[in-house]
Amino acid sequence: MTAGAARPPASVVLATANPGKLAELARILADEHADVTLASLADFPCAPEVTETGATFAENALLKAHAIAEFTQLPTVSDDSGLCVDALNGMPGVLSARWSGRHGDDEANLRLVLGQVADVPDERRGARFVCVAALVLPGGGEHVTEGVVTGRLIREPRGENGFGYDPIFVPDGYDITTAEMAPADKDKISHRGRALRALAPVIRRSLR
Ligand code: IMP
């Protein structure tokens, strides 16, 4: 490199193959003026599969970030999220993606939760989406942030956007579900948006 040439942007791996999450983190880092090149697991096809065995969102996020940082030797960001229902003592929580027994079966998971809270009256149908985002540096160092959006569960699914439990979740201050929101509007209030926005300045500082 010639003297005075600009430093190349630092690389960060997002421990997901989900292009939607990658685009969201890229938008948030750009808003934070973080000069970062993002890679995802799609760029590391031999990366280890990490099973989410943790008891908390933070444990799972750190588990994934540590495994991928060790494999790639690059700063790694990961997240873990789920729905916590008051009337179910905070479940499905870390089991949100496999609540019905089949990992990723959004429709079955949603139907099971709706059935479980069928007799719960309106005033006790509180719930929240939680996301924990983690940054792990390969040379040592980790940082964790949390984002939460509180709301309530309705009785019949509404809306076509989003995924997972979005069709039955109405955030506080709204009367539409997160599946009825435009994706950019959901991003602004979402648990993931909040956790990643809190992590973005930490990423920027860590890569200086
Ligand atoms: P993961 O963090 O991508 O592993 O997501 C865990 C699970 O939580 C998903 O499969 C969904 O069931 C649920 N979940 C997490 N975030 C959301 C959301 O924004 N909307 C609806 N469901 C979500």
State yes or no: pLDDT of 6 exceeds 60: no
From the candidates 35, 43, 79, 80, which is the catalytic residue? 80
Q: pLDDT (tens digit, 9 = 90+) per residue, 60-90? A: 999 999 999 999 999 999 999 999 999 999 9
Q: Residue for token digits 């060790």?
A: 70
- CA 90-17-190 angle, 5° bins: 40
Q: pLDDT (tens digit, 9 = 90+) per residue, 129-179? A: 999 999 999 989 999 999 999 999 999 999 999 899 999 999 999 999 999
Residue 51: other Cβ atoms inside 10 A: 10
**Percentages helix, strand, coil for the chain, rounded to the nearest 5?**
40, 25, 40
Q: pLDDT (tens digit, 9 = 90+) per residue, 92-120? A: 999 999 999 998 899 999 999 999 999 99
Of ligand 1's atoms, which has the minimum distance to the CA of residue 162?
20
| Atom 23 of ligand 1, residue of closest alpha carbon | 164
Task: Kindly report whether the peptide bond that precedes residue 121 is cis, defined as omega within 30 degrees of 0.
Answer: no
Provide the b/e sequence for 92-104 (b: ≥16 CB within 10 Å).
Answer: bbbebbebbeeee
CATH 3.40.50.300 fits 12-206, yes or no: no
Predicted TM-score (pTM) above 0.75: yes
Q: Alpha-carbon distance 97 to 191, whole Å?
A: 16
Q: Is 80 a catalytic residue?
A: yes
Domain boundaries, the chain: 12-206
DSSP code at position 168:
G
Q: Alpha-carbon distance 136 to 37, whole Å?
A: 16
Helix 19-31 / helix 191-206 crossing angle, nearest 10 deg: 60
133, 155 contact by CB (below 8 A): no
